[in-house]
Amino acid sequence: MNLSKEMYLKAGISEKVYDHCEKIWLSLEDRFKKIDEISEYNQLKVIKAMQDNRVSEACLMGTTGYGYNDLGRETLEKVYASVFNTEDALVRPQITCGTHALALALMSNLRPGDELLSPVGKPYDTLEEVIGIRFSKGSLAEYGVTYKQVDLKENGDFDLERIKNAINERTHMVTIQRSKGYQTRPTLSVEKIGELISFIKGIKSDVICMVDNCYGEFTEIIEPSDVGADLVVGSLIKNPGGGLCPTGGYLAGKKECIENAAYRLTSPGLGKEVGASLNMLPSMFQGFFMAPSVTANAAKSAIFAANIYERLGFPVIPDGKVERYDIIQSVVFKNAEGLCAFCEGIQKAAPVDGFVKPEPWNMPGYDSPVIMAAGAFVSGSSIELSADGPLRDPYAVYFQGGLTYQHGKFGIMMSLQSLYEKGIVTL
């Protein structure tokens, strides 16, 4: 018996589950090689950006108070701008999450009377309140910014005719979500995003194209800002934080867009000049350094999960074969037992709170109970191995993250172990 098998058995995996899983991970070696190539390319991209911008030991020292002349903060923002191939960037722990980063980008670059267009259908749930699709205090709608939406066609293609008709003299900004998030549409490749941006700029050249880059960073060797996006926006407790960054968000893009965002984040007149980095810089730099390989580990874990469950007859989105442009995987269980057993297994594999049994609860904002599995070093971090799903038809689990492939793999094996022990699957 090989050494790791022995350890898996000690860790609670039965021989049947191990044998089933082993066949599958062995069959994925060629796929994983391609992911390693992407991560190698991106790793060099990040190192080169750090060297070109002269990251030094002094950059790891934070500031306090106003945070004037914060060398580390300014250098980190240059590193992000280099990696995303943009004029400037705003990378701050004062940006509290992905939603905040997106709200900041929108609210600072739109003015009363302007219109925002989403040409890729409904945006991420939390943006509905930012935009004012669902009533909310302080939304763009309250400030007189209107919103138009063009859904994707049935087959997932852009509805170019409708997009063209939706663009008018007031259209000032376009928001494009790269990842499918928690919808069933396909995730957009960077290439497709580039085609959409060219089409839009062909109709109106000065419209600001923003991409919600959450979960997409480093899954390909180019980013949306390489293909014409004026702004890319994301969360530091997802891919670019590399699992080390404890909080924050980023915007990278055109100088003017970033300047607008900085004046909104801090204050008109102050902009990027203030914002103490405290003791955050080491994890922000090191997390970004780790991000290409951590993202690759999460992508491998997602592909492993898709193939395990696809082979057992469960619908999986995306399927086991397609190329990946984000790190989210869903598996459809069609009943609460399957969904809960899966989450229990993921939790049992966690380094933190591994002894806890997740229970469905009535989360604010949801119309049915939700079950969540997470045993993370950073609270709520979804670049760490995590899974959740609402207890309603079709009882789909959304699974993402895995700082190491070994952990992602173990989590998936524990989820299968849990389904197997409950008699939900037979092997």
Ligand X SMILES: *Cc1c(COP(=O)(O)O)cnc(C)c1O
Interface residues toward ligand X, by CB under 6 A? 97-99, 124, 126, 177, 179, 181, 212, 214-215, 235
Q: Which residue lies nearer to ligand X by CB, 5 or 122?
A: 122
Q: How far is the CB of 88 from ligand X (least distance, A)?
A: 22
Q: How far is CA 29 from CA 13, 225, 254, in A?
A: 22, 31, 40
**How far does Cα 58 stand from its chain's mean position?**
30
Pick the closest to residue 399 from 332, 311, 323 (CA basis). 332
CB of 237 to ligand X, least distance (A): 7
**Among all residues, whose Cβ is closest to ligand X?**
98
Q: Which is nearer to ligand X, 196 or 214 (CB)?
A: 214
CB contact at 8 A, 338 and 419: yes
Closer by beta carbon to ligand X, 253 or else 338? 253
Q: At closest approach, how far in Å is the CB of 61 from ligand X?
A: 28
Residue nearer to ligand X on the CB measure, 103 or 274: 103
Q: Which of 165, 241, 158 is nearest to 193 (CA)?
A: 158
Cβ atoms 236, 55 nearer than 8 A = no
Nearest CA to 131 among 105, 89, 103? 103
Characterise 319 by phi-psi region: left (phi > 0), alpha (psi -120 to 50), beta (else): beta
Of 25 and 80, the one with the shorter C-beta distance to ligand X is 80
Q: How far is the CB of 329 from ligand X (least distance, A)?
A: 13
Comparing CB distances to ligand X, the nearer of 249 and 345 is 249
Q: Of the candidates 252, 283, 290, 282, which has an alpha carbon nearest to the alpha carbon of residue 59? A: 282
* Residue type, position 191, single letter: E
* CB-nearer residue toward ligand X: 181 or 240: 181
Smallest distance, ligand X to C-beta of residue 152, A? 15
Closest contact distance (angstroms) between CB of 135 and ligand X is: 19
The type of residue at 369 is P
Burial class (CB in 10 A: 0-12, 13-18, 19+), 301: buried
Return the number of the residue (150 or 211) whose C-beta is nearest ligand X. Answer: 211
CA atoms of 398 and 123, how far apart (whole Å): 17
Residue nearer to ligand X on the CB measure, 214 or 378: 214
Residue 99 Cβ vs ligand X, minimum distance, rounded to whole Å: 3
In the complex, minimum distance from the CB of residue 340 to ligand X, in angstroms, rounded to a whole number: 23
What are the Cα distances from residue 142, in Å, to 113, 134, 166, 309? 11, 11, 21, 45
How would DSSP label each residue in 129-170? HHHTSS--TT-TGGGT-EEEE-PPPTTS---HHHHHHH--TT
Token pair 């395990």: residue: 308
To ligand X, the closest distance from the beta carbon of 311 in angstroms equals 27
